[in-house]
Structure 1
Amino acid sequence: MQPTLIELQRQITALAPMQKPTDQQGFVTLGAERADAALGSALARGALHEMFAAQAADAAALTGFCAGLAQCISGDAGRIVWIRQGFSETEAGPLFMPGLAALGLDPAHIIHVRARRPEDGLRAALEAVRCAALGAVLIELWGMPRSLDLTATRRLALAAEASGTTPLLMRLAAEPGPSVAQTRWQVAAAPSRALAANAPGRPAFDITLLRNRAGASGQRWHLEWDHERKRFRHAATVSGSVAAVPDKRPVPAPVERLARTG
């Protein structure tokens, strides 16, 4: 990890003289009116936000939602550091830069760090969050590592408050635990509406706000990502046929998703 951390420090040092644009300070709107209203009109920058995949199969949805959120936070000119634990990359696959470009992100503005252990990822994350020239830092960890405790989240939150850089903690195969995160979200894949000529629809997400220190929590929304405007928006209900109940076979129980607010 040491050579990787040294290289990350070198790249961060090169960014240090840069200043955030004035519209990058304070808060960021998602673009979805009801979600923004629940957050008190906007999502706080310079604060720790925690995102959970509802199930293992929702890893891609979590990646897409966090990529869009990082774009909202950073803007077109902002730099993003994306830190991924090696096991997470093994299980969920490597980042696909053409896919991120299709979401509206510029791959040239993404600094990708691959950490072998969770401790290494958290150490690199702390270095990155301390850099005020960055827009967002995505920290993708797998499971329930012991190193990701209340103290670790407090360090990230304090560094974010001091620099104004926003860390997004991405959790795969994990459950909510002690954390000082400003908000906590659950992300799942959702059906999308086909575009003209039956073209594939925009990326859609089933989002639940599990925690909101600035207001009420528990709200659930169906959002889609508009890569042209680089904003989320509320998606219309997708109509369609419903699968028939299997004949002479038991109906499987619904899979429970995260419900604890931590």
Structure 2
Amino acid sequence: MSASDHLLASLRARVDAIEGAKPRETSRFTLGHPDLDTRLDGGLPLGRLHELFAAEPGDQAAAIAFALILAMRGGNGPVVWVRQDDAVKAAGRLHPPGLVDLGFDPSRLVEVLAPDEKALLRTAGDAVRCTDVALLLIEPGRAPRAIDLTATRRLSVAAEASGVTVLLLRGSGEPAPSAAHSRWRVRAVPAVPLAADAPGHSAIDLTLLRHRGGIAEFSLTLEWNRDQLAFREPALSGAVVPVPAHRPAIA
């Protein structure tokens, strides 16, 4: 090897050290709905940070359900769910039968409770670097301050390096600057009842607010088929489920 080749190799090594680990080749997972997947150029990329917002405080359960649906579509490995104590107090503890009804296997789930934002970010930072984790779900408390542009950029870089997909549940607050690859708003809508007024499949209004791949904002109303583990168009029905005036509509 010539002196110039040695110099070039040395420069490349220094550049690699400055840039850090190279992200893995981008692969995608589909959401099981042709129109949605087409709009997303084949689906959502794995090993990226995605943000989920609840449209209203009463839509938090719908946002969590959408996160678990993404976890089901995005792989079969362990799902680490890091929850801040304030989030648990607001949304309640996990209910395994409810997860099963959605189609999610509770045995895949590792729940970690964090007392504050600092512990939440520290735990999430460790989990996102573990390549055995299929998906990391982060649920901070209300109005988190520490999860800013810098924190999300660190999570995003770590996710690209490890290949771990990260979902950040933002609650119903206003979107703030972040390094998320995609940002979604989720709203629960009344389910279409089945025959004999049996409870219908869960349904949501899903809006893409931002996508770093340049995909324009769009909205779709989708129904989750828990038997096929895929989204579909809401079934047509003449029946309308009334929404109680004293509480928000929950699918």
- Bin for the TM-score computed over the shorter chain: 0.7 to 0.9
On the 8 A contact 2:190/2:241 being kept in 1, the answer is: no
Native 8 Å contact 1:195 1:201 kept in 2: yes
TM-score, length-scaled by structure 2: 0.82
Cα offset, 1:241, TM superposition: 5.9
> For residue 22 of structure 1, what is the aligned residue in structure 2?
none
Partner Cα distance (1:228, 1:153) in 2: 34
> Which residue is 2:199 aligned to?
200
Distance across 2 between alignment mates of 1:159 and 1:168:
13
Partner in structure 1 of residue 61 of structure 2 = 60
Query: For residues 28 and 241 of structure 2, what CA distance do their matches in structure 1 show?
Result: 41
Does the C-alpha gap of structure 1 residues 238 and 190 become closer, same or farther in structure 2, counting only changes over 3 Å?
farther
**Aligned equivalents of 1:209, 1:232: Cα separation in 2:** 16
Percent identity over the alignment is: 45
Secondary structure of residue in 2 paired with 1:91: helix
Q: Secondary structure at the match of 2:74?
A: helix
Query: What's the offset of the Cα at 1:134?
Result: 1.3
3-state SS, counterpart of residue 172 of structure 1: coil
Letter in structure 2 aligned against 1:26: S
Written as runs of structure 1 = structure 2, the 5 A alignment for 1:6-155 is 26-75=27-76, 78-155=77-154
User: Is the contact between residue 142 and residue 173 of structure 1 (CA under 8 Å) also seen in structure 2?
Assistant: no
TM-score normalized by the length of structure 1: 0.78
Residue 212 of structure 1 corresponds to: 211
Q: State how far apart, in whole Å, the 1-side matches of 2:241 and 2:194 are.
A: 21
1:30 and 1:188 map into 2 onto residues whose CA distance is 17
Are 1:141 and 1:170, in contact at CA under 8 Å, matched by a contact in 2? Answer: yes
1:173 and 1:142 map into 2 onto residues whose CA distance is 11
Helix, strand or coil for the counterpart of 2:176? Answer: coil
User: Kindly tell me: are residues 196 and 240 of structure 1, through their superposed partners in 2, closer, same or farther at Cα, counting changes over 3 Å?
Assistant: closer
C-alpha displacement of 1:239: 4.7
CA distance in structure 1 between the partners assigned to 2:206 and 2:122 by the alignment: 29
The structure with more radius of gyration: 2
What corresponds to 1:249 in structure 2? none
Contact 1:40–1:215, Cα closer than 8 Å, also in 2: no
Q: CA separation of 1:238/1:146 partners in 2, compared to 1, >3 Å: closer, same or farther?
A: farther
Task: Deviation per CA, 1:71-91: give whole Å up to 9, x if none.
Answer: 11123xx11001111111111
Gaps of 5+ in 1: 1-24, 244-262
- Does the CA contact (< 8 Å) of 1:38 and 1:215 recur in 2? no
User: What residue identity is the alignment partner of 1:46?
Assistant: G
SS in 2 for 1:147: coil
Question: Quick one: structure 1 residues 218 and 85, their matched pair in 2 at CA, closer, same or farther if it must change by over 3 Å?
Answer: same
